[in-house]
Amino acid sequence: MSRLAKTHQPPYYAVIFSSQRTEIDKGYEKMAEKMVELASQQKGFLGVESSHDGGLGITVSYWESLDAIKQWKEHSAHQVAQNRGKKEWYKNFALRVCKVERDNFFEM
């Protein structure tokens, strides 16, 4: 079974969140799980893919529109997670928003 997000036909948007963590855990995993659960309930959410190697984490979430991304950014629970991330969990991070105009999938 594929762990790749099942998106619809382009165009749609990808939010790429790359990060390096601090040594502080203090509920990070629980919060990350809650954010994926909550994001998946938001209007316009299409899916998420995430990978972490202990030093670098990359999470890509897919959205129908820029407005859906904005609504998620402004969600009160997500803002709490963002603030804790800046204060406790991340040494640094980058956030990029991209428009997906073409995609191609392969599966054995």
| Rounded distance between C-alpha atoms, residue 67 and residue 82, angstroms | 19
**The CATH number of 20-100 is which of 3.30.70.100, 3.40.50.1970, 3.40.50.300, 2.60.40.1120?**
3.30.70.100
The predicted model scores a pTM of 0.91
To the nearest 10 degrees (0 to 180), the angle between helices 28-39 and 76-84 is 150
Closest CA to 14 of 80, 69, 53, 58: 69
- List, for residues 26-57, the tens digit of each pLDDT value: 899 999 999 999 999 999 999 999 998 877 99
Asked if 100 and 14 touch (Cβ cutoff 8 Å), the reply is yes
* Predicted local confidence at residue 1, as pLDDT: 40
| Domain range summary for the chain, segments of one domain joined by + | 20-100
Model confidence band, residue 69 (pLDDT cutoffs 50, 70, 90):
very high
